Homo-oligomer: A and B are copies of this chain.
Amino acid sequence: MSISLIVGGGGFIGYSLVEVLLQRGSRVVVVDNWSRGSKDNLTPIIRRYADQITFETGDVSNFQNNLALLDAINKRGHISEVWHLAANSDISAGVEDCSIDLKDTFMTTYALLQAMKVLKIPILNFASSSAVYGDMGDLLISESSGPLLPISNYGAMKLASEALISAAAEAYLERANIFRFPNVVGTPATHGVIYDFIDRLKINQTVLRVKGDGTQKKSYLHVSDLVKAMIALSDRSLSAGQKLSLTNIGPIDDGVTVRWIAERVVERVNPNAKIIFGLGNRGWVGDVPQFRYSTDLIRSYGWRPSLGSHEAVILAINQIANQFDF
């Protein structure tokens, strides 16, 4: 039976993806450097699907490492596809020090592709990001929107990865599926606006300080919907000769403001806490203040999210509050 290799599978999105792939009966190998991901995240899954899942520790930003690791896995059972989720998820850290995004977000893509080329692994599924679009103001952003001018090194290295995958699809891959993620919420949370707010309220239950004036508006998708979309897109037949698909994944609505999220977090965790907003509509360098995301393409394939931005955020607040024992 062929193997689905989930690179960065120990992280937030990896957890949900691995679970659904195992439920579908796939044989899964999770590779992670466990710097941000954790095997603990996957413990409940491991118990249920022990015969379908194995784990590897590896730094996938190095080609020679990848060649040795993927070759060894290939010898236990053919790797039919790679899901590449490994990245630096801390956008602010990457703005300060670009070498983090270079290594963890871009060189992982480069070095995985080089190993896949040598080992003739045919399919790559790639977790890209709406951050590739940069700040497009009021524009309703579709897959054909341009120019692509990311404003964070995270977005830059995701776009750089897409570009390399596109060239690889032309030259040697059988198929590449690029998914541009919106903001994704759910558990096991390790970062993101909801996580940060609840984390701050864990330290100081009476005051929630918000970076920026709270008017930043973005759409949010629950991770359960995201993973269903990724799998639906990877299952989809492409037209003859087409080797690459590129698709925005996101909810249908225009999203919610940071202010609305802060208010809902406070309601759930401590209704007496006071919210104090900062200045300006960018939370940090590299933050996009507002964001309108067209999901016409994926909806034309028949996909619908089960939760809109509001419902996804409410569910995630509850899940993350539970994670923090609130």
Contacts and interface: CB of A to CB of B under 8 A. Distances in A.
Contacts of A170: 134, 151-152, 285-286
A155 B162 CA distance: 12
A278 interface: no
A95 interface: yes
Contacts of A153: 164, 167
A98 interface: yes
A146 B155 CA distance: 16
Contacts of A164: 98, 153, 156-157, 160
Interface residues of A, number: 37
A167 B131 CA distance: 11
Interface in A138-154: 143-153
Contacts of A150: 163, 166-167
A240 interface: no
A159 interface: yes
Given A143-B146, A149-B246, 8 more contacts: A95-B167, A144-B147, A145-B146, A157-B164, A159-B159, A159-B160, A159-B163, A163-B163
